[in-house]
Amino acid sequence: MVALLLTGGCDQSRSKAPDSPVGAKHLPPVSELSHETIQINRWGGARRDHLLTYELRPDNALTVTHSLQVPGGNKTLGRETFGLAPDAASQVRLTLSRVRPETLQGIEYVSYPVGCQPPTDSGDEVAIAFIDEHEKIGIFDLPYVCRDSNAAAARNAIAAVMQSLPTSKVANAFPRLG
């Protein structure tokens, strides 16, 4: 179980980051993290034109959406919404805080597992967006090519979260890569 500990220094407003595969040293306090929206994005289909998104909102609503990327936008193929119990939602947030960037700097700044410098044309296994209440965003990206211990730790944390989520008909119908 991952635990967040308050730092003992002058800055009591930040929490010590749990064992972070992205190298984060400090995160906002748990009370702030609970107000963030978290989006987990996976791609599939023969041309990677299908997108499966899990979105956990501050009210603990979890929406699973399967969309098809088409010219001019996305076409929704399926959507389900679940209400997570507060303890379950907190555990998801706590576990995913391991891959949360220390600061939310915008979509042009992507965090990877420490030691992973993927080529620009590598495929993404999963991307996670953290969006605070002021709409600042931080992105974590896990490329398929990253295979060191930090990437393995990130995969394990994400797998634990995915296994803890409710069974979704939308996710079960999602096309997998080959």
Q: Looking at residue 17, what is its pLDDT? A: 59
Residue 148 sits in a domain whose CATH number is 3.30.1560
Any domain includes 17: no
Query: What digits encode the pLDDT tens for the residues 33-49?
Result: 999 999 999 998 677 88
Domain that holds residue 60: 24-172
**129-160 b/e (C-beta count within 10 Å ≥ 16 → b):** bbbbeeeebbbbbbbeebeeebbebbbebbee
Q: Which residue would you say has higher pLDDT here, 5 or 83?
A: 83
The answer to whether 62 and 165 have CB atoms below 8 angstroms apart is yes
Element (DSSP H or E) covering residue 139: strand 137-143
- Can you give the pTM of this predicted structure? 0.86
Q: How would DSSP label each residue in 44-62?
A: ESTTS-EEEEEEE-TTSEE
Q: How would DSSP label each residue in 146-163?
A: --SHHHHHHHHHHHHHHH
Any domain includes 7: no
Any domain includes 12: no
Query: What digits encode the pLDDT tens for the residues 86-112?
Result: 999 999 999 999 999 999 998 888 999
As for how many domains the chain has, the answer is 1
Query: What digits encode the pLDDT tens for the residues 125-152?
Result: 899 999 999 999 999 999 989 999 999 9
Any domain includes 5: no
